[in-house]
Amino acid sequence: MDFKENNKPIYLQIVDKISDDILAGIYADDTRIPSVREFAAQVEVNANTVMRSYDYLQQTGIIYNKRGIGYFVSVGASDNIKHERMERFKSEELERFFSQLKLLNVTPEQLLEMYTRFCNQNN
């Protein structure tokens, strides 16, 4: 896993990666995710960093722990992730996005065309 050189802590980048995998269907509801040690080895970080990510995901209800068995994806995790990301998008990014559109004189029609093209290219 390539970590971005930004202000976002690595443990939150791991949270995003696992959340992305849940949204992509790699981890379905009630399925086991890699153990802390397995995931730490995969992404080449300290197990404590992954544990911090798992604790965060557990606190937000995305995963749960079965003692002695491992961590599993909570039922409805995908919907919870989408809801949380939509709220974050609306509160943190949308105003800047619309400001840029306005400064660039992008019409709603042009935006729809760009978005449609993006969706078609990324399917």
- 84 and 52 share a domain? no
Residue whose entry in the numeric block shows the structure tokens 């290219």: 121
Top-confidence residue, 24 or 8: 24
Distance, in Å, from the CA atom of 116 to the CA atom of 110, rounded to the nearest integer, reads 10
Does any domain span residue 1? no
pLDDT score, position 122: 83
Q: Say how many domains are in the chain.
A: 2
Does any domain span residue 2? no
Q: Which two tokens stand for residue 27?
A: 């981890």
Does any domain span residue 88? yes
Asked if pLDDT for residue 25 goes beyond 80, the answer is yes
Average confidence score pLDDT of the chain: 93
**pLDDT confidence bin for 11, thresholds 50/70/90:** very high
Does any domain span residue 82? yes
**pLDDT confidence bin for 5, thresholds 50/70/90:** low
DSSP string, 28-62: -TT-BPPPHHHHHHHHTS-HHHHHHHHHHHHHTTS
Does any domain span residue 94? yes
- 83 and 72 share a domain? no
- 36 and 72 share a domain? yes
- 63 and 92 share a domain? no
Does any domain span residue 3? no
**For 17-22, what is the mean pLDDT?**
96
In which domain, by residue range, is 27 found?
Answer: 10-76
Does any domain span residue 54? yes
